[in-house]
Structure 1
Amino acid sequence: MNIDQALMDPAQVFDEPGDVLEEASLSREEKIKILRRWEFDAREREVAEEENMAGVQDSRLGDILAALNRLGATDENSHSPPTKQGGE
């Protein structure tokens, strides 16, 4: 598994967010970074769809947030300003 590729485009490396959790070669912190990137990408797609831009319908945001929850990483962006992209 190429961690640099996973950090740039998680959807190209993993079929679904739950697969990130199963990857034994990743630390908890790396898993969170990958899932946060995937979350940002999913939110970007949702913003584009809100603005009537063509995009992929299935963002998997719910699955991504569930995976982050399983890692105990749900409140790590609570200090960020509110944006549609999650404060990134």
Structure 2
Amino acid sequence: MTADKTKDIVANPSKKFAHPSEVVTTPDLSAKEKAAALEQWELDARLMQVATEEGMAGTESAAPNKLLDVKKAQSDLGIETLKKKDDSGGPNKTGM
């Protein structure tokens, strides 16, 4: 797989995969790429959840929110372990 195609998948995993569990099982991505794709999918799901809660137009016809599925896929992949291995000790983009 080319680097550009991998970047596209990580940036918008829901275009390539129908379900977050498919990210975990794909041989096309490294563990770090899978983690990044699931992080992006989580962010997208959280933004969709907020939009739905705020009654923004168009969200009711959108695909169902897969936040719980994303969290399960992250757990299956052991995302917490990957973050601990890569943790530099400084704050991350969420400020933690």
Give me the TM-score of the superposition, normalised by structure 2: 0.72
Alignment correspondent of 2:28: 25
C-alpha RMSD of the superposition? 2.3
Specify the code of the residue in structure 1 equivalent to 2:47: E
Q: Which runs of 5+ in 1 are unaligned?
A: 82-86
- Residue-pair matches, total: 81
Structure 2, unpaired ranges of 5+ = 84-90
Aligned to 1:59: 65
CA distance in 2, matches of 1:45, 1:58: 9
Q: Pick one of 33, 37, 42 that aligns with 1:34.
A: 37
Task: Show the 5 A alignment for 1:1-88.
Answer: 2-53=5-56, 54-55=58-59, 56=62, 58-74=64-80, 76=83, 87=94
For residues 10-53 of structure 1, give each alpha carbon's deviation from its aligned partner in whole angstroms, at most 9, with x where no partner exists: 11011110111111121111100000000000000001111111
Question: For residues 65 and 74 of structure 1, what CA distance do their matches in structure 2 show?
Answer: 11
> Structure 1 length normalisation: TM-score?
0.78
Larger proportion of helix: 2
